[in-house]
Amino acid sequence: MTLFERDFDGLEVGERFRTESRTVTESDIASFAGLTGDTHPQHVDAAWASGSRFGERIAHGLLVLSYAAGLMPFHPERVVALRRIADAVFKHPVRIGDTVHVEGEVVETRPIDDEHGLVACRWKVVNQDGKLVLRASVELVWRRAAVREPILL
């Protein structure tokens, strides 16, 4: 059973996990720019970006953070909510064609009430070369006991 399939009371500080990976595409960057309105030429204009310090277009930092959240294999009967993302630091540009994954660690668990607990994690988003591109602290609301009946979505 993976960490994300267990109840809150079965988690331990120090546990580590690694997600599957995802490759950044030009289409993802264009879609993210359209959805968010962040059309900075560093992301969407190849000619402009070729003269920038990065020499080419790069992914939006918040797109990479969104990838990280999307790569988490949250079990819907265990993880109730992503409560907080804090201290996000964008360490290295992510380029079209880069493949990223998340390496994480549980750093704190704290009961909230009889039904829920708070799980604090550190996320490190790493590219295909092993380079750290993003780090963040995350808090998740976790169910303390298994749900007896499935949640209908």
Question: What does the mean pLDDT of the chain come to?
Answer: 95
**Spatial distance between the Cα atoms of 94 and 127, rounded to a whole number of angstroms:** 8
Q: Is 83 inside a domain boundary?
A: yes
Give the structural domain span for 125. Answer: 3-143
The answer to whether residue 22 is domain-embedded is: yes
Yes or no: say if 112 and 118 are a contact pair by the CB < 8 Å rule.
yes
Assigned token pair, 55: 């020499």
Asked whether residue 153 is domain-assigned, the answer is: no
Q: Tell whether 149 is covered by a domain.
A: no
Output the CA torsion 140→144→145→146 (10° steps): 0
User: Is 152 part of a structural domain of the chain?
Assistant: no
In a domain, 65, yes or no: yes
C-alpha dist (Å) from residue 60 to 64, 69, 117, 126 = 7, 15, 32, 15
Under a CB-based contact definition with an 8 Å cutoff, are residues 139 and 118 in contact? Answer: yes
Residues 52-89 pLDDT 10s = 999 999 999 999 999 999 999 999 999 999 999 999 99
* Residue 148 confidence (pLDDT) above 70: no
d(Cα 143, Cα 30) in Å, to the nearest integer? 36
Look-up of token digits 């070369």 = 129
Residue 109 placed within a domain = yes
Per the domain annotation, does 150 fall within a domain?
A: no
Side-chain half-sphere of 53: how many Cα atoms within 13 Å? 2
Q: How confident is the model at residue 147 (pLDDT cuts 50, 70, 90)?
A: low
Alpha helices of 51-90 — where are they, by DSSP H?
A: 61-71
How sure is the predictor about 2, in pLDDT bands with cuts at 50, 70 and 90? confident
Number of structural domains in the chain? 1
> Could you tell me the CATH number of the domain that includes residue 70?
3.10.129.10
With 0-12 CB in 10 A as exposed, 13-18 as middle and 19+ as buried, what is 136? buried
